[in-house]
Amino acid sequence: DTAVSQTPKYLVTQMGNDKSIKCEQNLGHDTMYWYKQDSKKFLKIMFSYNNKELIINETVPNRFSPKSPDKAHLNLHINSLELGDSAVYFCASSTRQGPTEAFFGQGTRLTVV
Amino acid sequence: DAKTTQPTSMDCAEGRAANLPCNHSTISGNEYVYWYRQIHSQGPQYIIHGLKNNETNEMASLIITEDRKSSTLILPHATLRDTAVYYCIVESGNAGNMLTFGGGTRLMVKP
Protein backbone atom coordinates (compact mmCIF):
# COMPACT_ATOMS: atom_id res chain seq x y z
CA ASP A 1 0.00 0.00 0.00
CA THR A 2 1.27 3.44 -0.88
CA ALA A 3 1.97 5.45 2.26
CA VAL A 4 1.64 8.92 0.74
CA SER A 5 -0.16 9.20 -2.55
CA GLN A 6 -0.68 12.22 -4.78
CA THR A 7 -2.96 12.78 -7.72
CA PRO A 8 -2.55 13.59 -10.48
CA LYS A 9 1.00 12.58 -11.29
CA TYR A 10 1.12 14.98 -14.24
CA LEU A 11 -0.88 18.16 -14.73
CA VAL A 12 -0.70 20.45 -17.74
CA THR A 13 -2.81 23.58 -17.64
CA GLN A 14 -3.04 27.08 -19.02
CA MET A 15 -2.02 30.28 -17.31
CA GLY A 16 -4.76 31.83 -15.26
CA ASN A 17 -6.50 28.56 -14.44
CA ASP A 18 -7.20 27.29 -10.93
CA LYS A 19 -6.11 23.75 -10.11
CA SER A 20 -5.85 21.38 -7.16
CA ILE A 21 -3.46 18.59 -6.32
CA LYS A 22 -4.66 15.94 -3.91
CA CYS A 23 -2.63 14.17 -1.25
CA GLU A 24 -3.57 11.32 1.04
CA GLN A 25 -1.57 9.46 3.67
CA ASN A 26 -2.50 6.18 5.32
CA LEU A 27 0.18 6.28 8.02
CA GLY A 28 -1.93 7.84 10.74
CA HIS A 29 0.37 10.86 10.84
CA ASP A 30 -0.88 14.12 12.27
CA THR A 31 1.22 16.53 10.21
CA MET A 32 1.36 16.97 6.46
CA TYR A 33 3.47 19.15 4.20
CA TRP A 34 3.81 20.48 0.71
CA TYR A 35 7.18 20.98 -0.95
CA LYS A 36 8.04 22.51 -4.31
CA GLN A 37 10.96 21.38 -6.47
CA ASP A 38 11.79 23.82 -9.23
CA SER A 39 13.63 23.32 -12.50
CA LYS A 40 16.96 23.73 -10.74
CA LYS A 41 16.02 20.82 -8.48
CA PHE A 42 15.90 22.81 -5.25
CA LEU A 43 13.32 21.44 -2.81
CA LYS A 44 11.57 24.08 -0.72
CA ILE A 45 9.01 23.73 2.02
CA MET A 46 5.74 25.49 1.29
CA PHE A 47 3.45 24.52 4.16
CA SER A 48 3.33 22.48 7.30
CA TYR A 49 -0.16 21.64 8.57
CA ASN A 50 -1.82 19.70 11.33
CA ASN A 51 -5.30 20.07 12.74
CA LYS A 52 -4.21 22.87 14.97
CA GLU A 53 -1.65 24.86 13.11
CA LEU A 54 -0.77 25.99 9.63
CA ILE A 55 2.78 27.16 9.10
CA ILE A 56 3.36 28.95 5.84
CA ASN A 57 6.73 29.61 4.28
CA GLU A 58 6.71 33.37 3.88
CA THR A 59 7.91 33.13 0.29
CA VAL A 60 4.78 31.26 -0.86
CA PRO A 61 2.33 33.49 -2.80
CA ASN A 62 -1.16 33.65 -1.37
CA ARG A 63 -2.46 32.09 -4.59
CA PHE A 64 -1.40 28.82 -3.00
CA SER A 65 -3.60 27.44 -0.25
CA PRO A 66 -3.63 24.09 1.53
CA LYS A 67 -7.02 22.56 2.27
CA SER A 68 -7.46 19.66 4.65
CA PRO A 69 -10.83 17.90 4.73
CA ASP A 70 -9.52 15.50 7.36
CA LYS A 71 -6.33 14.38 9.04
CA ALA A 72 -5.39 12.01 6.23
CA HIS A 73 -5.69 14.53 3.41
CA LEU A 74 -3.98 17.78 2.52
CA ASN A 75 -4.81 19.17 -0.88
CA LEU A 76 -2.99 22.03 -2.55
CA HIS A 77 -5.13 24.56 -4.34
CA ILE A 78 -3.54 27.06 -6.70
CA ASN A 79 -5.37 30.08 -8.08
CA SER A 80 -4.49 32.04 -11.20
CA LEU A 81 -1.65 29.80 -12.28
CA GLU A 82 1.49 31.45 -13.62
CA LEU A 83 4.31 30.10 -15.78
CA GLY A 84 6.64 30.23 -12.80
CA ASP A 85 4.45 27.78 -10.91
CA SER A 86 5.68 25.01 -13.17
CA ALA A 87 7.51 22.58 -10.90
CA VAL A 88 7.21 19.23 -9.19
CA TYR A 89 5.14 19.38 -6.02
CA PHE A 90 5.68 16.83 -3.27
CA CYS A 91 3.38 16.03 -0.42
CA ALA A 92 4.82 14.55 2.78
CA SER A 93 3.67 13.47 6.21
CA SER A 94 5.16 12.77 9.61
CA THR A 95 4.26 12.68 13.25
CA ARG A 96 4.44 16.01 14.97
CA GLN A 97 6.29 14.98 18.05
CA GLY A 98 10.06 14.86 18.16
CA PRO A 99 12.60 14.10 15.48
CA THR A 100 11.24 11.58 13.04
CA GLU A 101 11.25 10.66 9.41
CA ALA A 102 9.01 12.27 6.85
CA PHE A 103 7.40 10.17 4.14
CA PHE A 104 7.11 11.75 0.72
CA GLY A 105 4.74 11.11 -2.13
CA GLN A 106 5.94 10.52 -5.67
CA GLY A 107 5.30 14.06 -6.76
CA THR A 108 3.02 15.92 -9.16
CA ARG A 109 4.67 17.51 -12.17
CA LEU A 110 2.78 20.70 -12.91
CA THR A 111 3.34 22.40 -16.26
CA VAL A 112 1.75 25.77 -16.89
CA VAL A 113 1.58 26.79 -20.54
CA ASP B 1 18.78 28.81 3.69
CA ALA B 2 20.38 25.41 4.19
CA LYS B 3 22.66 25.12 7.19
CA THR B 4 24.83 22.47 5.59
CA THR B 5 27.58 22.24 3.00
CA GLN B 6 28.03 19.17 0.83
CA PRO B 7 30.16 18.36 -2.22
CA THR B 8 28.19 18.76 -5.41
CA SER B 9 28.97 15.30 -6.73
CA MET B 10 30.83 12.10 -5.96
CA ASP B 11 31.52 8.80 -7.68
CA CYS B 12 31.71 5.39 -6.05
CA ALA B 13 32.49 1.94 -7.42
CA GLU B 14 29.75 -0.63 -7.08
CA GLY B 15 30.28 -2.82 -4.03
CA ARG B 16 32.53 -0.33 -2.30
CA ALA B 17 31.60 1.91 0.61
CA ALA B 18 30.29 5.35 -0.25
CA ASN B 19 31.27 8.02 2.27
CA LEU B 20 29.32 11.23 1.90
CA PRO B 21 30.55 14.18 3.97
CA CYS B 22 28.54 17.08 5.32
CA ASN B 23 29.63 20.21 7.15
CA HIS B 24 27.24 21.87 9.59
CA SER B 25 29.49 24.12 11.63
CA THR B 26 26.65 26.30 12.97
CA ILE B 27 24.54 23.44 14.30
CA SER B 28 22.71 24.18 17.55
CA GLY B 29 22.46 21.92 20.55
CA ASN B 30 18.86 20.90 19.85
CA GLU B 31 19.33 20.27 16.15
CA TYR B 32 19.49 16.86 14.57
CA VAL B 33 21.33 15.76 11.46
CA TYR B 34 19.04 14.09 8.92
CA TRP B 35 19.92 12.38 5.68
CA TYR B 36 17.50 11.92 2.82
CA ARG B 37 18.05 10.84 -0.74
CA GLN B 38 16.17 11.42 -3.96
CA ILE B 39 16.41 8.90 -6.72
CA HIS B 40 15.63 10.32 -10.15
CA SER B 41 11.96 11.21 -10.62
CA GLN B 42 10.97 9.98 -7.16
CA GLY B 43 10.10 11.66 -3.89
CA PRO B 44 12.78 12.10 -1.24
CA GLN B 45 13.40 9.05 0.93
CA TYR B 46 14.46 9.16 4.57
CA ILE B 47 17.73 7.39 5.34
CA ILE B 48 18.81 8.11 8.91
CA HIS B 49 19.11 10.81 11.55
CA GLY B 50 21.17 11.44 14.68
CA LEU B 51 21.90 13.94 17.40
CA LYS B 52 25.28 13.17 18.94
CA ASN B 53 25.90 9.46 18.77
CA ASN B 54 26.71 7.47 15.70
CA GLU B 55 23.70 5.70 14.26
CA THR B 56 23.25 2.64 12.08
CA ASN B 57 20.24 1.14 10.38
CA GLU B 58 19.61 -1.26 7.54
CA MET B 59 20.37 1.38 4.94
CA ALA B 60 23.39 3.28 6.23
CA SER B 61 25.57 4.47 9.08
CA LEU B 62 25.83 8.04 10.30
CA ILE B 63 29.05 9.20 11.91
CA ILE B 64 28.86 12.54 13.72
CA THR B 65 32.04 14.22 14.93
CA GLU B 66 32.40 14.93 18.62
CA ASP B 67 32.01 18.68 18.11
CA ARG B 68 28.98 17.95 15.87
CA LYS B 69 30.23 20.31 13.20
CA SER B 70 30.36 17.65 10.54
CA SER B 71 29.07 14.21 9.76
CA THR B 72 29.52 11.40 7.25
CA LEU B 73 26.89 9.14 5.78
CA ILE B 74 28.25 5.71 4.94
CA LEU B 75 26.61 3.31 2.52
CA PRO B 76 28.63 0.19 3.28
CA HIS B 77 28.22 -1.63 -0.05
CA ALA B 78 26.96 0.75 -2.70
CA THR B 79 24.84 -0.63 -5.52
CA LEU B 80 23.76 0.93 -8.78
CA ARG B 81 20.36 1.58 -7.19
CA ASP B 82 22.03 3.89 -4.68
CA THR B 83 22.70 6.42 -7.43
CA ALA B 84 20.79 9.47 -6.21
CA VAL B 85 21.09 12.95 -4.77
CA TYR B 86 21.83 12.75 -1.04
CA TYR B 87 20.73 15.58 1.21
CA CYS B 88 22.18 16.37 4.61
CA ILE B 89 19.74 18.47 6.64
CA VAL B 90 20.03 20.06 10.04
CA GLU B 91 16.74 20.74 11.84
CA SER B 92 15.44 20.81 15.36
CA GLY B 93 13.16 18.01 16.43
CA ASN B 94 10.35 20.33 17.38
CA ALA B 95 6.98 20.99 15.84
CA GLY B 96 7.09 18.73 12.88
CA ASN B 97 9.76 18.42 10.26
CA MET B 98 9.86 21.44 8.01
CA LEU B 99 12.98 20.32 6.24
CA THR B 100 15.30 22.81 4.57
CA PHE B 101 16.97 21.06 1.65
CA GLY B 102 20.22 22.32 0.20
CA GLY B 103 21.80 21.30 -3.07
CA GLY B 104 22.81 17.84 -1.89
CA THR B 105 25.49 15.53 -3.26
CA ARG B 106 24.85 13.70 -6.49
CA LEU B 107 26.27 10.22 -5.93
CA MET B 108 26.98 8.20 -9.03
CA VAL B 109 27.62 4.51 -8.38
CA LYS B 110 29.54 3.01 -11.27
CA PRO B 111 29.90 -0.65 -12.26
Kindly list the residues from chain B whose CB atom is less than 8 angstroms away from the CB atom of residue A94.
96-97
Task: Find the CB nearest B98 among A41, A42, A45.
Answer: A45
Residue-wise pLDDT for B6-59, tens only, equals 999 999 999 999 999 999 999 998 899 999 999 998 999 999 999 999 999 999
Q: Is a pLDDT exceeding 70 seen at residue A8?
A: yes
Chain A contact for B59 (CB, 8 A cutoff)? no
Q: Find the largest Cα–Cα distance for chain A.
A: 41
**Cβ pair B32, B90 in contact under 8 A:** yes
Residue-wise pLDDT for A46-73, tens only, equals 988 987 788 878 789 999 999 998 889 9
Check CB contact under 8 Å for B43 and A100: no
3-state secondary structure of B46: strand
Residue-level pLDDT at B1: 61
Task: Find the CB nearest A94 among B41, B97, B100.
Answer: B97
Cβ neighbours of residue A112 closer than 8 Å, sequence gap 6 or more: A13, A14, A15, A81, A82, A83, A84, A85, A86
Residue-wise pLDDT for B47-94, tens only, equals 999 999 999 999 999 999 999 999 999 999 999 999 999 999 998 866
Residue-level pLDDT at A50: 84
Distance separating alpha carbons of residues B44 and B36, to the nearest angstrom: 6
Cβ neighbours of residue A52 closer than 8 Å, sequence gap 6 or more: none
Distance separating alpha carbons of residues B14 and B80, to the nearest angstrom: 6
Residue-level pLDDT at A1: 66
Rg from Cα positions in chain A? 13
Distance separating alpha carbons of residues B39 and B84, to the nearest angstrom: 4
Residue-level pLDDT at B25: 94
Q: Is a pLDDT exceeding 90 seen at residue A106?
A: yes
